[in-house]
Structure formats: structure tokens, C-alpha cells
Amino acid sequence: MIEVLTVAAFVAAYVLIATERIHRVAAALSGAAAMVVLGVVDAQVAFFSEKTGIDWNVIFLLLGMMVIVSVLKQTGVFDYVAIWAAKRTRGRPFATMVMLVTITAIASALLDNVTTVLLIAPVTLLVCDRLALAPVPFLIAEALASNIGGTATLIGDPPNIIIASRGGLSFNDFLINLAPIVVILMVVFIGLCRVLFRSAFTYDPDRVAALMALDEREVIRDRALLIRSGVVLVAVMIGFVAHSALHIEPSLVALLGAGALVALSKLDPPQFLEEVEWPTLVFFMGLFVMVGALVEVGVIGRLGELLTGAVGDRYLLASTGLLWGSAVLSAVIDNIPYVATVAPLVQTLVEAGGGSAQATPLWWALALGADLGGNATAVGASANVVVIGIAARNGHPISFWHFTRYGSVVAVVTIAISWFYLWLRYYT
């Protein structure tokens, strides 16, 4: 009986999150509260159990990276790089788009996707304004690039952080397994941009002078802070790459980096906490308690056994289903609660396969499907929603179907290539 009630409470909260009838934080906290009222969850289960409790590694990794971004943002480095890169293209529209989407993808691999598009969108609008270009194709391309680039690393997209923590996967595991395919996907994506946005590339030589007149050095707000931040960021990246060898969790690397930046920058709390999205962190906590309750009552375990029996040793089939299924679901619902729910199931499948070379790629199928599937629709990823909001505020509305027309093509092509990659690399 308690299992049925737990599942019912979970589904009800999930529906509220997916339909956004109430704020997702309120929905997740209500779901978590229901689990407590049902007696499934107590303090031990919610806060201290590694298997059923809040994943503090995820929470503190996110917090640390948000603080790092808050400090980096104060330096003006993103504006500098984007203007500098646009000027190198001497105003050629397609080259400008290539530069901007490449910067977006690289930044998204190192930072949160939403933060990246928030930083790149204003400077994109400025560059397009200078060149008298329609900014919408550039903004859509950047949202899509941020979702692709974010797939490359452990810290690039929140679902990857959850997958890493659940699967015990290191920063280098992501770099070795996902970064190569993301590089290929970016090359293909740039080719797609050439075709999809071909009507946007009208070159006006008279406007080039307006672009070249931009002075990127003026946007650096604090040169000393920029140098210090750069040094700390490099140290943090080295820490991520070496975290397995150093036996230190990525969350602690991020927190140490954040602490160092706070100490060196001498910024006030409102400044170094500016980019910390407290609602997102609380949402994660509520979500972990909800999923932990399903684990606690044994529902996830039984589902895992059923799946294990159904999959057997047909891991290519399982990877295919996971990749495409995750992509379809992530196109319509938030990929964070989706991955938080599915990750324990994938963990069961991978453990049943003894962590073999055939079973472990299930994690990569999940990451690729959930991260890239968000490109399919205007509401599939937070970065898409944010870009559409910025465009509207600047007098360039992007309708749901306008975005989805381009996003769905990019999603289908990138996921199809990802399937080919999984098959070729792990199952042949």
C-alpha cells in the first residue's frame, strides 16, 4: 500500500513539475513533503544516505560553479572575447556566426548553459546591430550550440552532474567519452547552420566599419581581477581533470575554486552570489528526496530488475532505446527531473552488467539523449527559453514553431550521429 501511495505522490509532483501548474520548486518541495508525511523519508534517508538522500556533491558542485561564474562575470571577459572574435571575421556574417557559436559551445562545456547564453546574447545583439543583421538566427544557433557544447563535460549540463555522481564517473570519463562526439557534432552543426540560416547571411561592406569601431578593451572592467580569475579558473580545470588522481570530488574542486576567487576578488556577497540560483538548488534537493523515496520503498529496485531481465545482454538495444527515448522526453519535459529519476534505473542496469564495456555506455546514451534532446523544441532546454526571452525583450520575438523548426532538425541529426558513434565505438 505504501508503495502505491509513494508512487502516486511522486507522479502527482512530477505532473506538476512537467505542466508548470505551480512553480517547479514548490512542486518538488511538495513532493518531498508528501514522502515525509507518508513516513517513507526521515532525516537519515533524506540528508545522510548516499543511496536515497540529497546528492550533496551535485548541490555543492552547482553552487561552486555559480559562485565562480558570478566573479568571472564581473571581469567583462565574455564581452571581450566575443567582440574580439567577431572583429576577426571582418563582418562576414557566416564567419561571425561560426565564431559566436564556437565560443558559446566552449563556454557551455565549462559553465552552465543558461549562464553562457545570458552572457553571449547581449554581445550578439550588439554585433548584429553593428552589421545590420537579423539577430534571431544567431540567437537560435547559440542556444542550440550551448546545449551541444554542454554535453561535452561533467560540469557542462546539470544532467551530466547527476549522471557523474550516480555512476561514479570522473571528469575525464566525460572528456574521453563525450567530448570527441561533441566536437564532431559541432562541426556538423556549423554545416547545418550554413544551410538552415542561409538567408540570414547578407553581407553589407558599408557596415563593417561600424563593427571594427567597437573597442573590446573598454569592456574589461577589472584587469587585475581578470588575471586572478583566469589563474583560478585554470587551476579549477586542472583540479577537475586530476580529481580522480587527487582523490577529491569535483564538488570540492569547485568549492575550493569559488572560495579562492571570493578571497582574491574581495567582492561583496551580493556580487559573488549574484549568479547563484537558489531556487534551482532547492529544486534539486526536493527532487532528490522524491526519487530517494522511490528507492527507499523498493520501486526503483524492482523496476531495475524488470529492465535488467528485459535487456539481458542486449546493450546496444538498451542504449538505442535510452538515447532516443531520453531525447524525445527531454524535448518536452525538463531534463533534470527526467535524469534524476532514470539515473538509478541506469545504475541498476550498469551494475547488473558488471560495469562492463558494453554496459557502461548506457550512461553516455542517457547523457547524449537528455542533453541533445533539449534542442528539439523551444521549451526543451532552459537555454532555449532564456534566449527566446532575451530576443523578445529586444524586439525580435521568436515563436515556439520558429525555434522548433530549426531545433528539431538539429536534434534529430545530432542524435542520429550520436547513435552511430555509440554503435561504432562501444558495440562493434
Partner 1 sequence: MRARDLVQPFPVITPDTDAMEAAQAMAGKRLPGLIVCDDDAKPYTILPGSEVLRFLIPAYLQDDPALAASLDDDAADELCRRLTRSTVRDLLPRRQDLDELPVVDADATSLEVAAVMAQLRSPLVAVVQDERVIGAITVSRLLDHLLPGAPSLPEAPAL
Footprint of partner 1 (CB under 8 A): 76, 79, 83, 121-123, 125-126, 129-130, 210, 213-216, 218-219, 221, 390, 393-395
Q: Give me the least distance between CB of 129 and partner 1, in Å please.
A: 7
Q: Give me the least distance between CB of 78 and partner 1, in Å please.
A: 9
Q: Give me the least distance between CB of 124 and partner 1, in Å please.
A: 8
Comparison of 269 and 395: residue with beta carbon closer to partner 1: 395
**Distance of alpha carbon 221 from alpha carbon 223, whole angstroms:** 6
Comparison of 122 and 321: residue with beta carbon closer to partner 1: 122
Is the CB of residue 113 less than 8 Å from the CB of residue 383?
yes
Comparison of 129 and 332: residue with beta carbon closer to partner 1: 129
Comparison of 127 and 422: residue with beta carbon closer to partner 1: 127
The owner of cell 527515448 is 325
Total length of the chain: 428
Q: Give me the least distance between CB of 25 and partner 1, in Å please.
A: 24
Q: Give me the least distance between CB of 217 and partner 1, in Å please.
A: 8
Encode 173-192: b = buried (16+ Cβ within 10 Å), e = exposed.
Answer: bbbebbbebbeebbeebbeb
Comparison of 103 and 340: residue with beta carbon closer to partner 1: 103
Per-residue cell: 354: 558488471
Nearest one of 163, 129, 150 to 347, comparing CA atoms: 163
Per-residue cell: 13: 509532483
Comparison of 354 and 395: residue with beta carbon closer to partner 1: 395
Comparison of 50 and 215: residue with beta carbon closer to partner 1: 215
Q: Give me the least distance between CB of 132 and partner 1, in Å please.
A: 11
Q: Give me the least distance between CB of 220 and partner 1, in Å please.
A: 9
Q: Give me the least distance between CB of 160 and partner 1, in Å please.
A: 28
**Distance of alpha carbon 330 from alpha carbon 321, whole angstroms:** 14
Nearest one of 19, 88, 89, 17 to 279, comparing CA atoms: 17
What are the residue ranges of helices labelled H in 266-356? 269-272, 278-296, 299-311, 315-332, 335-352
Is the CB of residue 261 less than 8 Å from the CB of residue 67?
yes
Comparison of 220 and 316: residue with beta carbon closer to partner 1: 220
Q: Give me the least distance between CB of 109 and partner 1, in Å please.
A: 22
Q: Give me the least distance between CB of 17 and partner 1, in Å please.
A: 28
Comparison of 126 and 236: residue with beta carbon closer to partner 1: 126
**Distance of alpha carbon 330 from alpha carbon 354, whole angstroms:** 28
Comparison of 16 and 390: residue with beta carbon closer to partner 1: 390
Is the CB of residue 153 less than 8 Å from the CB of residue 107?
no
